[in-house]
Amino acid sequence: MRTLFTLRSLAGLLVVLTTTSLCAQGLTFEFMGGSAYNFPTPLTVHQAGYPDVQIMANYDTEPFGPYTPYYAWRASLWKGAEAWEFEQVHHRLFLSNTNDVIQSFAIHYGYNYFLLGHAWKNNDFIFHLGIGPIISDPSNTIRDQVLHTGGTGLFDAGYNLSGIGAQVAVSRNFDFFEKVFFLLDVGLMGGLATVPVVNGTADVPNLSLHGHLGFGVNL
C-alpha cells in the first residue's frame, strides 16, 4: 500500500505523455537510483500541551533500505535543445540525533518531490530546473506518543501534501545501445514541509545534495 500512490501517479503520467508524444520532437524516460547528503536543518515540533522543541537535525538517507529504497524517475518532452519535464524523487530522511523528546523521526516512505521543470542541453551536459509539491508519509515517536498514518491521507495510504520543493541539477548521458543510454545526475534540492505528529505538527525543511546513476530510453 505504501507504493500505491507512486504507482498510480506514474500510470497517470504515462497516459498523458503517451497521448502527447506524437506532437513532441522527442520523448525520454529516465530511471535512477542514488543517494543524498542532507545538510543540517532546523526541525521544529509543535505539540498540544507542550512547549515547542527545535533542534538542528542531522538526517541519514539510508538509500538501500529499510523500507522502499531511494529512487527517482523523470519524463521529458524535448523540442530541439529544450524540454519540459516531470520528475519524482523519492527522498528518505532518518533523524540521527534523536533525544528524550524526539525519540524517533523518519520520513522513509518518502519525502517525495514531484517536480515540473525545464531542461536545456549545452554541449554534453543537460541542465535541469524544477519546482513542485512535496508529498510525504512520516513515522515518528514524540514524548512516547507514536504516530500511526495508516488509513489516512491520499488513497488511505498515509500520504499527504506537505509543502513545496525545488531542484537545480546537471546530468550527462552516455549512449549505450540504440535508444538506451546511461546517465549521471547531480542536483541540489530544497524543500519546506510540515508533517503530522501526535496532537501536533513538525516543520521539516530539507536541503540536500543528490547523486543519481541510472538509464534512460528515447522513444
Mean predicted confidence (pLDDT) in 4-14: 48
Grid coordinates of 115: 517536480
Q: Hey, what domains does the chain have and what are their CATH numbers?
A: 4-218 (2.40.160.20)
C-alpha cell at 79: 523540442
pTM: 0.87
pLDDT value of residue 158: 84
Interstrand relation of 26-38 and 206-218 (parallel, antiparallel or unpaired): antiparallel
Residue 7, pLDDT > 50, answer: no
For the stretch 159-208, pLDDT in tens is 999 999 999 999 999 998 889 999 999 999 999 999 999 999 999 999 99
Collapsed DSSP state (helix, strand, coil) of residue 195: strand
The phi, psi pair for 3, rounded to 5°, reads: -95, 5
pLDDT band at residue 8 using 50, 70 and 90 as cut-offs = low
Task: Note the pLDDT of residue 172.
Answer: 97
Position 156 pLDDT exceeds 90? no
Compute CA distances 158 → 33, 36, 60, 66, whole Å: 24, 24, 22, 18
pLDDT in tens, 36-94: 999 999 999 999 999 999 999 999 999 998 999 999 999 999 999 999 999 999 999 99
Confidence check: pLDDT of 21 > 80: no
Cβ count within 10 A of residue 135 = 22
Residue 9: how many CB atoms within 10 A of its CB?
A: 16
Q: What is the pLDDT of residues 98-140, one digit of tens each?
A: 999 999 999 999 999 999 999 999 999 999 999 999 999 999 9
> Alpha-carbon distance 40 to 118, whole Å?
28
Taking alpha carbons only, the member of 79, 113, 107 closest to residue 188 is 113
CB contact set of 177 (below 8 Å; sequence gap of 6+): none
pLDDT at 134: 98
Report the C-alpha gap between 1 and 92 in whole angstroms. 17
